[in-house]
């Protein structure tokens, strides 16, 4: 079985659990009764250098926009860095546009949805974000149908999730779609995480 490459976008002031939650879920995923690991998870930043996440956590990324491998799944996290900084960074928005044309799944966590919306990826789609930012998503991107009171929204090749910890739920859901509920249940048990599938 070939591994899918999961690329997680990182940037300064990214919300830690937005990226660390999905990183953990996809990294720990395994096929029961087999040594097979279905995902390889890599982190990507614009320049490939260390970023400073919210509250000062330093993370050295694996790749830059220029040298990362072909990705199958992209995860765009949120946080102050997404909604106030990178949303005004044309290089990041263009990278999302380019990846959307290439990857199997484009996903967001929390206010990462604002970056997808800015890139036009969510036009004509249903989507969700952190509850504190739903009004902004609705007002600034009227072509997006904002869904409230849900952990995530699955639009086929595009998935968005609510705030912070909801990215974990979305990750389990996507693994269930690709490899079945038993795989997700096995990973959730390993993580001691309660999921409803």
Q: Tell me the per-residue pLDDT of 25-49, one tens digit each, with 9 for 90 and over.
A: 999 999 988 878 999 999 999 999 9
**What's the chain's average pLDDT?**
96
Main-chain phi, psi angles of 97, to 5 degrees: -55, -50
Residue 145: phi and psi, rounded to 5, are -90, 100
- The answer to whether 110 is a known catalytic residue is yes
What pLDDT is recorded for position 112? 98
Q: Please write the tens of the pLDDT for every residue from 47-65.
A: 999 999 999 999 999 999 9
Q: What is the CATH number of domain 4-191?
A: 3.40.50.880
* Of 110, 115, 137, 183, catalytic: 110
Q: How far is CA 46 from CA 8, 65, 68, 166, in A?
A: 12, 5, 10, 25
Answer whether 8's CB lies under 8 Å from 43's CB: yes
User: Which pTM value belongs to this model?
Assistant: 0.96
Burial degree of 124 (CB within 10 A; 0-12, 13-18, 19+): exposed
Strands 4-9 and 39-44, bridge-based pairing? parallel
């Amino acid at each position: 079985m070939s591994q899918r490459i999961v690329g997680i976008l990182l940037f300064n002031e990214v919300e830690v659990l937005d990226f660390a939650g999905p990183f953990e879920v996809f990294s720990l995923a395994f096929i029961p009764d087999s040594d097979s690991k279905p995902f390889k998870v890599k982190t990507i930043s614009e320049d490939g250098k260390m970023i400073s996440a919210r509250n000062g956590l330093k993370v050295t990324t694996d790749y830059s926009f220029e040298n990362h491998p072909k990705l199958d799944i992209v995860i765009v996290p949120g946080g102050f860095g997404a909604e106030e900084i990178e949303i005004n960074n044309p290089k990041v928005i263009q990278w999302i546009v380019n990846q959307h044309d290439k990857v199997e799944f484009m996903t967001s966590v929390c206010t990462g949805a604002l970056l997808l919306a800015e890139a036009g990826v969510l036009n004509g789609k249903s989507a969700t974000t952190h509850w504190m930012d739903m009004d902004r998503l609705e007002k600034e991107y009227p072509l997006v149908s904002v869904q409230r009171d849900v952990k995530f929204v699955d639009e086929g090749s595009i998935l968005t999730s609510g705030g912070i910890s909801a990215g974990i739920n979305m990750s389990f859901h996507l693994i269930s779609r690709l490899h079945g509920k038993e795989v997700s249940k096995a990973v959730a048990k390993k993580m001691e995480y309660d999921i409803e599938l």
